[in-house]
Amino acid sequence: MPDPLVLPRLPRIRGATPRGTWWGRAWLRSCEEAAVDPGDLRGGRALARSGRFGAVMAIAGMASAVLDPRSEHPMLVQVKVAPLGAEAWTTFVRELSRRSGHLAALESGDLADDLVTGADELGVELLPGPADVEAACECDAWAQPCVHALGLATLLAWAMDADPYVLLLLRGRTREWLLDEGARELDGAGPAAAVDEAAGRASRILRLADEAPAGHGLADTAVAAYDEEVARLLDPDA
């Protein structure tokens, strides 16, 4: 299993927080839509700003953090996200590699809207819906997500704002995997180009066959030139 992604502990945040990215807001909206108590929404945001959470640990499909880690009663809070299936990831990587700018944007911290839209049109919903997110907490809340889980979800939204790979990790794949698969998909353009080139060579050979000179072997200059051209087309690396 890959090492978990460790998001550093945030100190108490004073003043307004940034508005955030569209994908961070979409993630948080999905988490908050499942909340039962509207008061928990405000409480979760306040808790995220309070500095009471320890470092957030994220692995494929799950993130966790300890609330008040230095207190006598620390609480473990978890958020689980339904991972995308293997076929969905294959489709997503193809869409990611379709334009070289998508991968470059990801590396610079931007999740291109047309990448997500294109994947969605192919049946891959990168952004989880409320039913895709599950929360667990050691508190005695009767329903989840509780205020503590909403606080963790807010921290994750801020982390996604800074690094969209956090969202992709929660959906099931690491940055390293995506870069490797993206590189393989880009390299896959090579065989297709080779097929096109081979088809072109075959077409030229057939044209040459129609125009084959009549002669008596290598003693005939025209025949020798013809044979040499066909040989070159059959084995361009020779």
Question: For the chain, what are the domain ranges?
Answer: 5-187, 193-234
Per-residue pLDDT of the chain (238 residues; tens, 9 = 90+): 567 888 878 778 876 666 789 999 999 999 999 888 888 999 999 999 999 999 999 999 999 999 999 999 999 999 999 999 999 999 999 999 888 789 889 999 999 999 999 999 999 999 999 999 999 999 988 889 999 999 999 999 999 999 999 999 999 999 999 999 988 887 765 433 343 444 444 455 455 455 555 554 444 555 555 455 545 545 544 4
Cα 36 from Cα 64, distance rounded (Å): 21
CA dihedral for 86, 184, 1, 64, sign (positive or negative): negative
Q: What is the pLDDT of residue 106?
A: 93
Q: What is the pLDDT of residue 98?
A: 86
Q: Do 103 and 96 form a contact (C-beta atoms < 8 A)?
A: yes
Q: Using H for helix, E for strand and C for coil, what is the string for 164-233?
A: CHHHHHHCCCCHHHHHHHHHHHHHCHHHHHHHHHHHHHHHHHHHHHHCCCCCCHHHCHHHHHHHHHHHHH
Q: What is the pLDDT of residue 165?
A: 96
Does the pTM surpass 0.85? The reply is no
Q: What is the pLDDT of residue 233?
A: 47
